Chain A
Amino acid sequence: MLNFENRDPTSESKYQIHEKKLIKNVLVELERLLIYANIPYPVYFAFEDDDIDAVLADVKRNDASGQPATATTGSYKLVVSGPEPKRIASPTITNIQGWLPGLKADGDLNQLPTIAIVASYDTFGTAPALSVGSDSNGSGIVALLEIARLFSLLYSNPKTRGRYNLLFGLTSGGPYNYNGTHKWLRSFDQRLRESIDYAICLNSIGSWDNKLWIHVSKPPENAFIKQIFEGFSTVAEELGIEVGLKHKKINISNPRVAWEHEQFSRLRVTAATLTELSAPPELLESTGGLSDSRHFVNEDAIVRSIKLVAESIARHVYGYQGKNIQIFADDTSLAVNAPYIRSWLDILSQTPRVAPFLSKNDPFVMALKKELQAHTHEVNVQHEVLDEMFTIYDLTKAKLNIYQVASVTFDLLLLLVLGSYLITLFTFLVITTRGLDDLISLFRRPPSRKVKAV
């Protein structure tokens, strides 16, 4: 059923796109069912191939005919070998932050204002080893890295360095009410927190057609929100993108945090989330599970999102709001690098990133840190313990062996057949070599003893 050939995305017909959407919807439904159902037996996911197809066809055929399984048809035994899953005691989450300092004028003692760009990098799904989250939030990670790269180019030269600090944050614990972001912000120095002008959180920007949403917690009439939204709208119009504003009040007593910017808003920092989703996702929804594979992500959408964000931020930093200028124009040294995006997206689509299974020195986390180090001045890694929301057990991958077995009745029958064969052979040989009398004499007891007893 899940058969993805390597189709060229630009030449897809409408039917193929529709088919993809159907498959995606089915997977999303399936995942939601599995997450919330109480299943008393383990559920395994495997990739389809010829052998599994043959087994499935066999079992279906047998079921349909209603016959009991014989030696050669239908009876299969599934065996998983491996250790008993153990509970993970204190799962760690790792936040990575990169700091690009702005240009401080000589004699200026005040703290420069900061703009933060944040994306959460971990995923969650019913099958953790398959939760690669290409869109949620692979697209966000890739966009953040590219924006960091572009601004590092600008900030490398003091002549083009802006008067804003840039803070890049790759947070973990996203599916668990953005627990990582919460802990990251709590670790901030008061002055740093107060210097943040605004924060842009990137979430799922990889599979949209022409509309993006900016979700905020402060009311739209707020001056800061108005400024941010206008900046984004102007750039969006130039790029041919539609941007909508959505306001959701935060409820401090409700532990559910649907958007990352809400963690900032709870500490009174102006923040917004840029995403293709129009409604806030429920708990454990849109967390990069089974259905979120590479095929559903459009690089072009990510490129356009990067242009939108980078351009809007740059205009704010350099004071070019409302002016018709393209800083990150195509075919320049500051153009958005599509191959870079593609290669990072491909890697992310092959790396499952469920936070409790990422150790402190997980190679992928280290790779993200190294990449951010290449683009920023200073990188800090923060290890925290994930708050106890769920009990998590290890063992994400196992080897499943499917054997075709014959029932015990088959072996019993075989024993019967063999027994009779050997007995026939025995009698045949006795008759032909020793004569029939010998055969009978084997069974008759000597009669003399009986007579004596009487």
Chain B
Amino acid sequence: MTLFHFFNCAILTFGPHAVYYSATPLSEYDTLGTSVKAALVYLGTALVKLVCLATFLKVSENDSFDPYQELLHALIGFIDVAGLYFALTQLTHRNISQNHKFQAVGLGWAFADSVLHRLAPLWVGSRGLEFTWDYILQGLEANANLVFSISLAALGSLMWLRKNKPKTLIPIIYACAGIVATMPSITSYLRRGLGWHFPKVVGFELFTSLMMAFISLQLFSACQRPSS
């Protein structure tokens, strides 16, 4: 729908990442390097996932929900978590606080995800004449994804980087991390198994992302109290 619409959808999809970077103290501490490294780790993870999917998954003809295939899909999705672990713990970062580390990693992760999954369809599709709501919804999905990535990075940093955690909170942390990690499987179940339409799915994603962000914020601040 012309270049104007493409521009609009692009700023909806990629704008929040830039805004997040510039608005929060991330820009003051110049954590761009961390984000870039996280993005590269995401690329590597995506490649590994692709190879695994191609090897283990069957191509289904119809769009129905196959539990066995979805389980396999979810298991392969955990490679994502492994990648995030690698990015958080194994990479050498400049001396930045944990607070900012997980934010930078989450931001880089989400940005790479958006570019990989959404830039090509946006460029090819939204410049045509026919108008669809799809690309706007895709942009909203990218926003939800950003929140999810940052929450997951926060929970991940809590799990692997923080040594002294209150005992009671540990299972909650792991449970929340589990939910966020399996988000893709949940959305695909909603779309195929229950037959939800795209707008409904995107609405659900936005809502859950805000919820999860709130919960992880509470958990993070709860874990922060003993050490501060």
Contact = CB atoms under 8 A, between A and B. Distances in A.
Given A411-B4, A418-B11, A426 B23 contact: yes
Nearest to B130: A403
Given A411-B5, A415-B8, A433-B23, A422 B131 contact: no
Interface stretch (B12-20, B61-69, B117-125): B12-20
Contact of A414 (B2, B8, B16, B22): B8
Contacts of A428: 23
A408 interface: yes
A434 B20 CA distance: 12
A418 B19 CA distance: 12
Contacts of A434: 23-25
Interface string A68-87: 00011000010100000000
Given A418-B11, A422-B15, A430 B130 contact: no
Interface string B100-114: 000000000000000
A403 to B, nearest CB: 4
Contact of A433 (B4, B25, B136): B25
A77 B19 CA distance: 36
Given A411-B4, A411-B8, A415-B8, A79 B24 contact: no
A429 interface: yes
Given A77-B129, A403-B130, A411-B5, A429 B24 contact: yes
Contact of A404 (B2, B5, B130): B130
Contacts of A374: none
A411 B1 CA distance: 10
A250 interface: no
Given A411-B8, A418-B15, A405 B129 contact: yes
A426 B2 CA distance: 28
B12 to A, nearest CB: 5
A143 to B, nearest CB: 49
A418 B16 CA distance: 10
Given A415-B8, A418-B15, A429-B23, A405 B136 contact: no
A433 B8 CA distance: 27
Q: Chain A contact residues: over half helix, strand or loop, or mixed?
A: helix
A228 interface: no
Contacts of A408: 4
B8 A422 contact: no
Interface string A396-415: 00000101111010010011
Q: Chain B contact residues: over half helix, strand or loop, or mixed?
A: helix
Interface string B132-144: 0100100000000
A79 B16 CA distance: 36
A432 B1 CA distance: 37
A434 B2 CA distance: 39
Contacts of B16: 422, 425
B5, B15, B128, B131 interface centre (most CB from chain A within 10 Å): B131
Contacts of A71: 131
Contacts of B2: 411
Nearest to B28: A434
Contacts of A77: 129
Contacts of B4: 408, 411, 415
Contacts of B25: 433-434
Contacts of A426: 19, 22-23
Interface in B10-48: 11-12, 15-16, 19-20, 22-25
A406 B131 contact: yes
A7 B19 CA distance: 66
A382 B16 CA distance: 75
Nearest to A434: B25
B23, B25, B129 interface centre (most CB from chain A within 10 Å): B23
A422 B1 CA distance: 22
Contacts of B8: 411, 414-415, 418
Nearest to A419: B11
B20 A405 contact: no
Contacts of A427: 23
A425 B23 contact: yes
A183 B24 CA distance: 89
Contacts of A403: 128-131
A406 B128 CA distance: 12
B127 to A, nearest CB: 12
B202 to A, nearest CB: 15
Contacts of A418: 8, 11-12, 15
Contacts of B20: 425, 429
A49 to B, nearest CB: 18
Contact of B130 (A72, A405, A425, A433): A405
B130 A422 contact: no
Nearest to A412: B4
Contacts of B7: 415
Contacts of B19: 422, 425-426, 429
Interface in A64-114: 71-72, 77, 79
A224 to B, nearest CB: 67
Nearest to A415: B8
B136 to A, nearest CB: 7
Nearest to B132: A404
Nearest to A432: B24
A430 B21 CA distance: 10
Contacts of A79: 129
Given A411-B8, A422-B15, 9 more contacts: A405-B129, A414-B5, A418-B8, A422-B11, A422-B19, A425-B19, A425-B23, A426-B19, A429-B23
Interface of A: 71-72, 77, 79, 401, 403-406, 408, 411, 414-415, 418, 422, 425-430, 433-434
Interface of B: 1-2, 4-5, 7-8, 11-12, 15-16, 19-20, 22-25, 128-131, 133, 136
Shortest 10 CB-CB contacts between residues of A and residues of B? A429-B23, A403-B129, A406-B131, A403-B130, A433-B24, A411-B4, A426-B23, A430-B23, A426-B19, A414-B8
